[in-house]
Amino acid sequence: MIAKALTRRAMCVAASLAVTCGVLPLTAAAQDIKKGGTLVIGSTQSPRHLNGAVQSGLATALPSTQLFASPLRFDDKWNPQPYLAEKWSLAADGKSLTLNLRKDAVFHDGKPITSEDVAFSIMAIKANHPFTTMLGPVEKVETPDPHTAIIRMSVPHPAIVLAMSPALAPILPKHIYGDGKDLKTHPRNAENVVGSGPFKLTEFKPGQRIVMEKFDKFFLAGKPNLDKVIITLAPDGNSLMLGLERGDIQMLPYEASSVNLRRFKGNAKLDLTDKGYEGIGSINWLAFNLERKPLSDVKVRKAIATAIDKNFITKALMGGFATPVDGPIVPSSPFAVPDLVKYPLDLKKAAEMLDEAGYKAGAGGERFKLSIDYLPGADEQQKNVAEYLRSQLKKVGITLEVRASADFPAWAKRIAAHDFDLTMDTVFNWGDPVIGVHRTYLSTNIKPVIWTNTQSYANPKVDELLNQAGSLLDPVKRKAYYATFQKIVTDDVPLVFINLAPYHTVTTKRVGNVPVSIWGPASPLDEVYLK
């Protein structure tokens, strides 16, 4: 077996990858780490439940990665590290991944973790997770012995190692979840949750708080450092900001407000970092419902794109912290290309395009009316942009009604049901296009599930390109397919790409070992401690 680390970008994994690694290094000397204490994390995103095997998104990932362990975890250089799997190897043909599990790991109820649990979980994720492309090629998981799981795939799968990450592959106890009940609505997703992560659930009050206590039999000796993690949930980010400044809250992940970031930078009691968000690759965008007229007309979508001033949005509305983006793959990815169809601001041209599409302005200047939704809890990236679009598109005769949702579940239900005209959204690349990009554009992924192809975008050529790219291990060949894909999608405009979300983790000075791996706060917090 060849010991070889993943390249700097996990999506460039070679077909011969076979890795055996040591444990994650501490970022502070062991003697400096204080044991015990309670870490309070603030979040505006309230999860519906805590099972990341059947639900994507940061709201679920934050608690799920504490409650459930995954086969692997990753450091800040995209290198895989052992977790539940102490060794692993990818076959030369890229069609099987062998996981050699620890023999000392148990679930929170004391039952041992075996290859049967891994097999059950991988197939459950494949069947239920909205990222259908993430494990799409997986055909079965073989269990030759209690501590060996072999994932078999129909085609080479370049993202399979990355897919074993904490937020993407939580290992569930088969003896609990294999009872025949629907996993998406299983009662143990939200109460009496049993995982094998560093913390176990003691309380979950939706919209209020999640309380997790140290798991004394966690398989990593001496971890976690903390006694308890509390996630305080509040739709109003201002209350969380004040709590952080008072010291009631010690960590605010996924902070993107320029006003708050500027204020936090001036506070000597706080630390800020933008590290830890390389994996998620967040893009803030405007999505169209292509099932509805007039948005089914590409000329109308192009006109709307041409009426939007991304520079104003990122500089004026976002204080210069955000940067414009023009394509579906984040610029930091090796698969991003500059050859995209772009839409520079031109209100006169936008109006002419609407005329050509047959939507002439009426007596009051109005051409048609639409509604726009937005993801609650991140006003600067979402609500403020929606309000800007309302005033901006009025200049070309489009009347927008801004619709608010009470909370994330209410918004997600509406968008998943395709009950919208336009919506703002922040969606992630999740490290490899197979995991986070394909799901938005494949016609086979048009589903009543949030963060799938809720735009109802269908282009056979795009389907072909993505399916081909997703079955290649050679990064050069993959990039060629993705280059053509990006050119087509930016010409079809199922979405208007607005900006990269400027996520930061803000902590009090008391927090040590702030999570800065590629998954940042969507990672187990077993290394975190309070000074």
Q: Which pLDDT belongs to residue 442?
A: 97
Where residue 409 falls among pLDDT bands split at 50, 70, 90?
confident
6 pLDDT more than 90: no
Q: Which residues contact 16 (CB under 8 A, 6 or more apart)?
A: 2, 4, 90, 92
Q: Rounded CA gap, 42 and 172, in Å?
A: 26
Q: Which pLDDT belongs to residue 159?
A: 96
Q: Rounded CA gap, 464 and 279, in Å?
A: 26
User: Residue 97's closest CA among 42, 46, 159?
Assistant: 159
Model pLDDT for residues 191-250, shown as the tens digit of each residue: 999 999 999 999 999 999 999 999 999 999 999 999 999 999 998 788 999 999 999 999
User: Class for domain 282-500, per CATH?
Assistant: alpha beta
Q: What is the mean predicted confidence (pLDDT) over 145-152? A: 98
Domain coordinates in residue numbering, the chain: 35-275+504-530, 282-500
Q: Do 286 and 422 touch, CB atoms closer than 8 A? A: yes
> What CATH number was assigned to the domain covering residues 35-275+504-530?
3.40.190.10
Q: Which pLDDT belongs to residue 301?
A: 98
Q: Rounded CA gap, 70 and 439, in Å?
A: 22
345 pLDDT more than 70: yes
362 pLDDT more than 90: yes
Model pLDDT for residues 76-101, shown as the tens digit of each residue: 999 999 999 999 999 999 999 999 99
- Which structure tokens are listed for 146? 């209690």
Model pLDDT for residues 8-34, shown as the tens digit of each residue: 443 443 333 334 433 444 444 555 899
Mean pLDDT computed over every residue of the chain: 92
Q: Which pLDDT belongs to residue 20?
A: 40
Q: Which pLDDT belongs to residue 30?
A: 53
7 pLDDT more than 50: no
Q: Which pLDDT belongs to residue 57?
A: 84
Model pLDDT for residues 50-68, shown as the tens digit of each residue: 999 999 888 899 999 999 9
Q: Which residues contact 523 (CB under 8 A, 6 or more apart)?
A: 65, 73, 74, 166, 167, 276, 515, 517
